A and B are shown apart, each in its own frame.
Chain A
Amino acid sequence: MTRIAQTFLNKPKQVLNVYCTAGYPQLNSTLTVMQALQQYGADLIELGMPYSDPLADGPVIQQSSSVALQNGMSIKVLFEQLKDCRKTIHIPIILMGYMNPILQYGFEAFCKKAAEVGVDGLILPDLPEYEFENMYGAVIKKYQLDFIFLITPETSEERIRKMDALSSGFLYAVSSSATTGKDKNFNEVNTYLQRLQAMQLKNPIMVGFGVKDKSTFTTACTYSNGAIIGSAYIQALGSSTDIAATTQQFLENILK
């Protein structure tokens, strides 16, 4: 069983996935951040590979990406940083990123290396389902990586079923059509999540975008398996002088 599947088996509700940007706030803080997230209660880590033109992201994550790039982060550097990560990190690691840097690295070489260092899954927002089916999906499968598609309240039922069939690990439900870091009306989100729940999909549902504190986390989890926090954590890290302490406080505020 994959590490992600095992995570949802052990803990089917209130699963917390925290997003962080590789190489942020410092080039070499990647593992420190991941270790702190694991220690203080994150169930999954979504590790962003910074890109110059992150279309699906809002200003906070975008800003952290530029800082990380200025710090010297790249896919090569990241894999170097991750090469021994499985000695200390036992929770699933999902790489999130955009296609262009991966294509330059070499798509197959990327998947191979990701699997080698112990990455469990991929979220590539600008890899659409047509291209996935046409060529990239087979490579991802070959290296036994989970691939997580995004769905939105605008995604038709038929398309959701298709994305569910193509995804493994979980489905990433964007709480509304929006870039990351936007505030959301959670009543609408609930209607949407109830609709998803009624569809009885094969994958667990994780809710992303707009989840930032205990109350939004709890709400997001009501009709789903868990939620993803990104911009709020990046913001906390941005003004932090002690990564472990900041992470502890941030996660305690959400989980306690």
Chain B
Amino acid sequence: MSQTKTNSVSYMHPNEHGYFGQFGGAYIPEMLHRNVEELRSRYLEIMHEPSFVAAFHQLLRDYVGRPSPLFLAERLSALHNTRIYLKREDLNHTGAHKINNAIGQVLLAQRLGKKRIIAETGAGQHGVATATVCALMGLECIVYMGEKDIERQAPNVARMQMLGAKVVAATSGSKTLKDATNEAIRDWINHPNDTHYVIGSVVGPHPYPDMVARFQSVISEETRWQLKEKTGSELPTHVIACVGGGSNAAGAFYHFLDEPAVQLIAVEAAGLGVYSGMSAATSQLGKPGILHGSKSLVMQTEDGQVVEPHSISAGLDYPGIGPLHAHLFESGRATFLSATDEEALQAAFEVTKLEGIIPALETAHAFAALKQMSFKANDVVVLCLSGRGDKDLATYMHAMQKND
């Protein structure tokens, strides 16, 4: 019964039905068909329109501040006896990679004639990014956020509200990202005409995983020429990124997916330990299943109920991964590692002291994975610094007090 036909040699594009290997597709109720079909039939055409490309790139440059720097982290490199470059998505306007996708999708929504924008958010970074772009373009914005995340990411809730967005608490299930996504999808079902749903990661029904990866691919597009300038070669030996749904990883990997010489390393949140029962390491714990409209790896019980994951970082606290990543995992194209809450915290403090950069808790997982790997002195390692840690200061302060 499994659909293991791989249709193309490229990892970059799904087949016409949205499958990356056996993962993907669009498992949506009929009530969403029109919205999703409208998007599916038009996203590529719109994304290729010269006026769209121009508007997107102008905003990325003048509003977001792209290209984001590629920074050689010398003291961190010395520690690992190699060369580590940080792709500074933390310096983007609003503090994370999420804005790349939010701008792309809101521009696209405008071209589809949509007046109302909805989004889900975990850490609040995607919600802030979407609320920001909606403020910029004068669009109504509603952000669904798990009740638990509203508590632990209070600064971002305040930012969204100041930006004019309505933040709606998701009170069902685990009250985190998964449930916020359910609520956003329900909203979309109830607003079949005027609303665009800006999904914040490479998850959801086709065409979202492909569309979001394309908007985020600017990360690796820039990395290639920046590396060429700095090292003489466009290709690194390793690209490392954290994975919640997988959008910063998809963007950081994208233009290296079909370069087999480049090792791709995805880092998931192990919570209190992969097998502790309090984890979000989907590739290790998940089985093929269907969540939020696509077939992918899903953390679930034997009976197929989706489990409530755990991570200290709200942005990684999700029981699935995007279908592209499930395919990269299954095919062995990417290596999947994980870092615990504790390891992520330690790594955040370490990189802050070494480089003067306070990373987001999500990104801290990618830093923590450095310790699990061994590098050669002339390796070129690119780590996607997906966001800054301002939103996580309360958690960091709490950890400091505990260690005093």
Contact = CB atoms under 8 A, between A and B. Distances in A.
Interface in A86-130: 98-105, 107-108, 125-128, 130
Interface in B181-229: 182, 185-186, 189-190, 192
B30 A51 contact: no
A69 B26 contact: no
Given A53-B173, A177-B192, A128 B300 contact: no
Interface stretch (B52-60, B118-126, B303-311): B303-311
B29 A126 contact: yes
B289 interface: yes
A66 B185 CA distance: 18
B33 interface: yes
Interface in B167-186: 172-173, 178, 182, 185-186
B31 interface: yes
Contacts of B26: 128, 130
B300 A104 contact: yes
B305 A179 contact: no
A51 B27 CA distance: 15
A185 interface: no
B298 A100 contact: yes
Interface in B289-307: 289-293, 298, 300, 302-306
A199 interface: no
Contact of A53 (B29, B178, B288, B303): B178
A53 B287 CA distance: 16
Contacts of A139: 1
A126 B290 contact: yes
Nearest to A182: B190
Contacts of A126: 27-29, 290, 293
Interface string A52-69: 110110110010001001
Contacts of A104: 287, 289, 300, 302-304
B25 interface: yes
B3 interface: yes
A130 B17 contact: yes
Interface residues of A, number: 45
Contacts of B353: none
A177 B31 contact: yes
B172 A155 contact: no
B307 to A, nearest CB: 8
Contacts of A100: 289-291, 298, 300, 304, 306
B34 interface: yes
A5 to B, nearest CB: 23
B291 A53 contact: yes
A1 interface: no
B305 A52 contact: yes
Contacts of A59: 172
A57 to B, nearest CB: 8
Interface residues of B, number: 35
Contacts of A159: 33
Contacts of A128: 26-28, 30, 33
Nearest to B2: A135
A107 B290 CA distance: 13
A242 interface: no
A151 B30 contact: yes
B173 A52 contact: yes
A53 to B, nearest CB: 5
B30 A53 contact: no
A51 B305 contact: yes
A76 B3 CA distance: 25
A163 B33 CA distance: 13
Contacts of A134: 3
A15 interface: no
A195 B34 CA distance: 18
Contacts of A131: 25, 27
A51 B291 CA distance: 11
A105 B300 CA distance: 12
Contacts of A163: 30
Contacts of A130: 17, 25-26
A244 interface: no
Interface in A72-91: 74-76
A125 B30 contact: yes
Given A58-B186, A101-B303, A154-B192, A179 B31 contact: yes
Contacts of A127: 27
Contacts of A103: 288-290, 304
15 contacts: A53-B178, A53-B306, A55-B189, A99-B27, A101-B303, A101-B305, A126-B27, A126-B28, A126-B293, A128-B33, A131-B27, A135-B3, A159-B33, A174-B30, A174-B31
Given A151-B30, A152-B192, A178-B190, 15 more contacts: A51-B305, A58-B186, A59-B172, A62-B172, A66-B172, A101-B305, A103-B288, A130-B26, A134-B3, A135-B3, A152-B30, A155-B30, A163-B30, A174-B30, A177-B192
Interface of B: 1, 3, 17, 25-31, 33-34, 172-173, 178, 182, 185-186, 189-190, 192, 287-293, 298, 300, 302-306
